């Protein structure tokens, strides 16, 4: 009777307490993705805080009455436009298949950062709506591609843990924005409020540069 030798797998290694070591590129890529999700959480929370003062100033410049009713209605439309942009983020999928996950992930963060920062320069609600739509496309791509990147770049026995850690980034953004919400609310005028709403422009740009320098899987695996 022949004995089949036991071959350790990633799962058995995890059960045995030995996990595959992460490379420097994998760690850097994870923290870049985590930072992107953190900024997503900050954006989602601060929008509600600065909505009223920003629209109160921008609505009269757009030929509308800055009444509380109009603020609520226009604010809902702006949020809907942001979600539409998020839904349009499926365009990043074919682009990522063509140019690679890492590069397109960096590009999506850059789009999110640029148009999120541009919202602070809005002179009327039409410009703000356009910037929020384009920012939604960027944030939707970053949200999906970041999770895919971690799942592909990390070893099999660490993927579940990496996905769980990545989820904490969004709620860390909630906490960070809550910690600075008093400064945002006391900012004078819509431009200052939008600037407080969008501090993510500069760290997001750094985040995109970190991702672009990380050697991750550039093309989907074929023939498996």
Instruction: Identify the band that residue 182 occupies on the pLDDT scale cut at 50, 70 and 90.
Output: low
Chain segment 20-38, per-residue pLDDT in tens: 888 888 888 888 888 888 8
Q: Calculate mean pLDDT across residues 106-133.
A: 89
Residue 166 clears pLDDT 80, i.e. is over it: yes
CATH number of the domain encompassing residue 56: 1.20.1250.20
Q: How far apart are the first and last CA of the chain?
A: 33
Phi-psi region of 75 (alpha: psi -120 to 50; beta: other; left: phi over 0): alpha
Name the average pLDDT for the chain.
Answer: 76
Are the C-beta atoms of residues 112 and 140 closer than 8 Å to each other?
A: no
* Longest CA–CA separation in the chain, Å: 88
Number of continuous H segments (helices) and E segments (strands) in the chain: 10, 0
- Does residue 19 fall inside a structural domain? no
Domains in the chain, number: 1
- Does residue 18 fall inside a structural domain? no
**Predicted structure pTM score:** 0.71
Angle at 191 between CA 188 and CA 195, to 5 degrees: 95
- Does residue 163 fall inside a structural domain? yes
- Does residue 219 fall inside a structural domain? no
- Does residue 97 fall inside a structural domain? yes
- Does residue 7 fall inside a structural domain? no
Are the C-beta atoms of residues 166 and 30 closer than 8 Å to each other?
A: yes
Position 190 scores a pLDDT of: 44
Q: Calculate mean pLDDT across residues 46-52.
A: 78
Position 167 scores a pLDDT of: 86
Q: Which domain holds residue 58?
A: 36-212
- Does residue 1 fall inside a structural domain? no
Residue 2 clears pLDDT 70, i.e. is over it: no
Residue 130 clears pLDDT 90, i.e. is over it: yes
Chain segment 81-95, per-residue pLDDT in tens: 999 998 998 999 899
Instruction: Identify the band that residue 78 occupies on the pLDDT scale cut at 50, 70 and 90.
Output: very high
- Does residue 95 fall inside a structural domain? yes
Position 110 scores a pLDDT of: 87
């Amino acid at each position: 009777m022949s004995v089949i030798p036991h071959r350790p797998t990633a799962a058995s290694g995890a059960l045995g307490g030995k996990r595959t070591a992460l490379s420097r590129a994998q760690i850097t890529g994870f923290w870049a993705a985590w930072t992107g999700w953190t900024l997503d959480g900050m954006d989602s929370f601060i929008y509600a805080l600065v909505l009223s003062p920003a629209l109160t100033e921008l609505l009269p410049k757009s030929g509308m009455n800055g009444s509380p009713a109009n603020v609520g209605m226009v604010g809902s439309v702006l949020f809907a436009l942001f979600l539409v942009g998020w839904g349009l983020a499926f365009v990043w999928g074919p682009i990522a298949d063509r140019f690679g996950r890492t590069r397109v992930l960096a590009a999506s963060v850059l789009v999110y950062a640029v148009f999120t920062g541009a919202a602070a320069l809005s002179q009327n609600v039409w410009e703000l709506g356009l910037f929020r739509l384009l920012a939604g496309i960027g944030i939707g791509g970053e949200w999906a591609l970041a999770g895919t990147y971690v799942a592909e770049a990390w070893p099999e026995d660490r993927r579940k843990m990496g996905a769980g850690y990545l989820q904490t980034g969004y709620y860390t953004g909630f906490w960070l924005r809550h910690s600075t919400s008093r400064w945002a609310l006391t900012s004078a005028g819509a431009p200052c409020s939008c600037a407080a709403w969008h501090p993510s422009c500069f760290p997001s740009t750094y985040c995109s540069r970190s991702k672009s320098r990380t050697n991750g899987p550039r093309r989907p695996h074929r023939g498996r």
